[in-house]
Amino acid sequence: MSFSELGLSASLLQTVKDMGYVEPTAIQTQAIPVILAGRDVMGGAQTGTGKTAAFALPIIESLSANPCQPKRVRALVLTPTRELAQQVHKSFVDYAVASDLVVEIAYGGVSLNPQISALKKGADILVATPGRLLDLLFKGAVSLDDLVHLVFDEADRMLDMGFMVDIKRILKRVPEQRQTLLFSATFDKAILELSKTLLNNPELIEVAQRNAAAASVEQIIYNVDAHKKRELVSFMIGSKNWQQVLIFVRTKVGADALVKEMCKDGIKAQSIHGDKSQGARDKALADFKAGKTRALVATDVAARGLDIEQLNYVINYELPYIAEDYIHRIGRTGRAGNSGLAVSLMSVDENWLLEEIEAIVDERIPQAWYPGYEPDLNIVASNNKNSKSSQKRRAKQRGFSNNSGKGKSGASRGRGKPQR
Ligand code: AMP
């Protein structure tokens, strides 16, 4: 299948060619004709599959075929995070380069006034996070009365982040008659419920098996004692001469602490998390992309939406409490057809988290010992006294819930020494 068979105009075909895209990805092949035909879509696509172009190209096609003056917001893309908003906004700007469509962006954490001024000048397409969009709607800085295309990008994460109330408020302000596109890397009951209220007879398009990890990513788990993880991370990056590594941790404090230690080990690292100003986050990402820092240490929420081309290595310093986050994390590598390596450092107290992860990815992830960092078997034995259920209970008491658990893992635990 080539781009020219999808129903896009000559000018958009030239744009994608100029961007170096040779052929459409699976989600693009399936979604573009359906969206051009005006249908609602429920898209199951992982990060890195080219899903942004899958909805951006047909929207640009449709809006430029029906120009409107003065400019009114006719397409709205809602994203869970600022970083994803920035990335989607940039993609729209790139894809709309040959049109006279105006693309604007609105997200929180920065001053409202520049966004109000920009919107006053008129925009055709708005990419926004839900909270900031509501602020702008309440202030009368933007109207959605003329909206034709409404997109929910990474809808699963929007629900995880508690945006349901905001979404309902926004929906009251958009026309009933519209095209709605919902994209999600994972599907669970909450997403299916949301889709029923939002979508009208949608076409279901799935390009990867539900909740499956990206096939181009090689995964490995190293069993290591918790107190050895920090040393192992620096050793691994240094000895293997990895130049660009995204590292996931669970907490903001943990991110900063790890950065400090890695810098002491001589590995240039920066953190990216919700307590950092937008400017600091942008700088950390820019430095990482430019190769000024070798390691970017991120929390799950902050990492959502980061698009770093040709990222080869992801390290899970800790396994995530929410199993679906594992899929999002490793989806940061192996993007757009490149292969990637996702390394997870697992201490013995994290075994139960792996069960949840393997249940949703529906595969058994290989485990090994890293030479020189083999786990202390005395710690392993004493930890076995702590049952899985009591660990789960403690995590719940700390306020974490793992809402996956939809399938049963075929894998059995309590393994012996893994293969090296
Ligand atoms: P996305 O899944 O939308 O975040 O896209 C991931 C990456 O794939 C981005 O860097 C896009 O520029 C790139 N991309 C999207 N479509 C194509 C295509 N048809 N061919 C090559 N790269 C693409």
pLDDT in tens, 81-99: 888 899 999 999 999 999 9
**Burial status of residue 201 (CB atoms within 10 A of its CB: 0-12, 13-18, 19 or more):** exposed
| Closest CA to ligand 1's atom 4 | 48
pLDDT 10s digits, 313-363: 999 999 999 888 888 888 777 765 566 899 999 999 998 899 889 888 878
* Predicted pLDDT at 392: 56
> Is pLDDT above 70 for 406?
no
pLDDT 10s digits, 209-249: 444 455 578 899 999 999 999 999 999 999 989 989 999 99
Q: What spacing in Å lies between the alpha carbon of 378 and ligand 1's midpoint?
A: 47
CA dihedral 125, 128, 131, 132 (to 10 degrees): -80
Under 8 Å between Cβ of 84 and 77: no
Lowest-confidence region among 23-37, 159-173, 232-246, 293-307: 293-307
Global confidence as pTM? 0.62
| Closest CA to ligand 1's atom 1 | 50
Give ligand 1 pocket residues (Cβ under 6 A).
21, 24-25, 28, 47-53, 307, 309, 335-336
Mean pLDDT value across residues 247-267? 94
> Is pLDDT above 60 for 410?
no
Under 8 Å between Cβ of 90 and 307: no
| Closest CA to ligand 1's atom 5 | 50
Instruction: Tell me the two tokens of residue 364.
Output: 């058994």
Bigger pLDDT: 38 or 110? 38
Percent of the chain exceeding pLDDT 70 equals 85
* Residue where the block lists tokens 């699963």: 156
pLDDT 10s digits, 19-45: 999 899 889 999 999 999 999 999 988
Q: What spacing in Å lies between the alpha carbon of 30 and ligand 1's midpoint?
A: 15
CA dihedral 103, 108, 109, 114 (to 10 degrees): 50
Q: Which of 280, 278, 249, 250 is nearest to 262 (CA)?
A: 249
Other C-beta atoms lying within 10 Å of the C-beta of residue 199: 20
> Is pLDDT above 60 for 396?
no
Share in percent of the chain as helix, strand, coil (round to 5):
45, 15, 45
What is the band of 381 on the pLDDT scale with cuts at 50, 70, 90? low
What is the band of 181 on the pLDDT scale with cuts at 50, 70, 90? very high
* Predicted pLDDT at 402: 41
* Predicted pLDDT at 405: 36
> Is pLDDT above 70 for 382?
no
Bigger pLDDT: 163 or 57? 57
**Burial status of residue 229 (CB atoms within 10 A of its CB: 0-12, 13-18, 19 or more):** buried
| Closest CA to ligand 1's atom 12 | 50
Mean pLDDT value across residues 49-55? 91
Lowest-confidence region among 29-43, 54-68, 189-203: 189-203
Under 8 Å between Cβ of 59 and 34: no
Mutate-to-test residue for ligand 1 from 1, 4, 17, 25, highest number of ligand atoms within 8 A of CB? 25
Pairing of strands 125-128, 203-206: unpaired
DSSP H or E run through 77: strand 75-78
* Predicted pLDDT at 310: 63
Q: Which atom of ligand 1 is nearest to the CA of 52?
A: 3
Describe the strand order of the beta sheet including 149-152 as a list of residue ranges.
103-106, 125-128, 75-78, 149-152, 179-184, 41-44, 203-206
Mean pLDDT value across residues 125-146? 96
34 vs 187: CA distance, rounded Å: 20
* Predicted pLDDT at 418: 43
> Is pLDDT above 60 for 267?
yes
Domains defined for the chain, CATH in brackets: 3-206 (3.40.50.300), 217-397 (3.40.50.300)
Question: Mean pLDDT for the chain?
Answer: 85
* Predicted pLDDT at 335: 61
Lowest-confidence region among 106-110, 359-363, 388-392: 388-392
> Is pLDDT above 90 for 308?
no
> Is pLDDT above 60 for 420?
no
44 vs 209: CA distance, rounded Å: 9
- Any idea what the Cα angle at residue 186 is, between residues 329 and 288, rounded to 5°? 25
CA dihedral 357, 362, 363, 365 (to 10 degrees): -10
What is the band of 188 on the pLDDT scale with cuts at 50, 70, 90? confident
* Predicted pLDDT at 337: 57
What is the band of 307 on the pLDDT scale with cuts at 50, 70, 90? low
Q: Which residues of 93-128 are buried (b: 16+ CB within 10 A; e: fewer)?
A: bbbbeebebbbbbbbbeeeeeebbebbeeebbbbbb
Mean pLDDT value across residues 309-314? 79
> Is pLDDT above 60 for 413?
no
DSSP-derived 3-state class of residue 222:
strand
Q: What is the DSSP string of 30-51?
A: HHHHHHHTT--EEEE--TTSSH
Q: What spacing in Å lies between the alpha carbon of 367 and ligand 1's midpoint?
A: 31
* Predicted pLDDT at 344: 97
* Predicted pLDDT at 44: 86
The CA distances from residue 350 to 357, 380, 384, 413, in Å, are: 11, 11, 11, 12
289 vs 83: CA distance, rounded Å: 14
Q: Which of 325, 311, 306, 307 is nearest to 250 (CA)?
A: 325
Bigger pLDDT: 124 or 206? 124
